[in-house]
Amino acid sequence: MKRELLDRLLEARAAKRPLALITDLATGRQALFCDNKLSGDLGLGDDRVGSLRQAIAADRSGVLDGDDGLFVQVVNPPLRMVVVGAVHIAQTLVPMATLAGYEVIVVDPRRAWATAERFPGVTLTTEWPDGALAGLGLDRRCAVVTLTHDPKLDDPALAVALGSETFYIGALGSKRTHGRRLERLRSQGFTKAELARIHGPVGLALGAKSPAEIAVSILAQITQVLHQAPAPRSAEAAG
């Protein structure tokens, strides 16, 4: 791989642009496909470019068009996890999600909770959840988890998430709390089918007790949903 191509790849990745690196496995010649442009020392026909777009959309690396001489490495921007509620469980969930490769955004208008000291190195926003989530451009490569227990904060976030294509929505709270939450959202006009997208009580039933254990159950459920669902489309394809 030529250093110049690697630098271009790293730059595009840092700018969160979906891209693909194509390698001729016999010669090592390579091309970078990004922003609908090919660069590098490997030429490709227009028909191949369509296949590249499909590979990026499916977030799937592999041989191109069954031609085992050409390999495509897809590099999509990371999956995102929006955590509403800068609470104790969030403090354990955020580092775990970061380890699993998510770009995490924590939303909590309560400034005492959403502090950089409690959440070092994480994107924090103290906007009201509906405005914050609307501004994030939620897509199929996003998961949303509400953890505040407070309908004033959780409900608006859930309403925005339900109006988007996020691959996962989860809401913390007991069965009773969740039942009341569903009633409130139903009275806002959401259908039963729409509300079925919300995982509540959130997380796999592991018998989790501590904040860290609950975080494990949430991340485990998100992982399960991610891999059971069709591959989330890239931002480029969804847009």
Binding stretches for other proteins (CB under 8 A): 1-3, 6-7, 9-10, 13, 23, 25-28, 60-63, 68, 71, 73-75, 95, 98-99, 101, 103, 120-121
Using CA atoms, how far residue 204 sits from 25, 50, 105, 208, in Å, is: 42, 39, 22, 9
Contact between 139 and 238 (Cβ < 8 Å): yes
* Choice between 3 and 209, CB closer to other proteins: 3
* Choice between 41 and 183, CB closer to other proteins: 41
* Choice between 39 and 164, CB closer to other proteins: 39
Q: How far is the CB of 58 from other proteins (least distance, A)?
A: 12
Alpha-helical (H) ranges within 44-150 are 46-58, 88-99, 129-135
Q: How far is the CB of 180 from other proteins (least distance, A)?
A: 38
- Smallest CA-to-CA distance from 76 within 166, 140, 29 is with 140
* Choice between 101 and 239, CB closer to other proteins: 101
* Choice between 68 and 194, CB closer to other proteins: 68
Phi, psi of 218 (to 5 degrees): -70, -50
- From first CA to last CA, the distance across the chain in angstroms is 31
Provide the pairing of β-strand 19-24 with 67-75.
Answer: antiparallel
Phi, psi of 219 (to 5 degrees): -65, -35
Q: Which two tokens stand for residue 43?
A: 């030429």
Q: How far is the CB of 187 from other proteins (least distance, A)?
A: 41
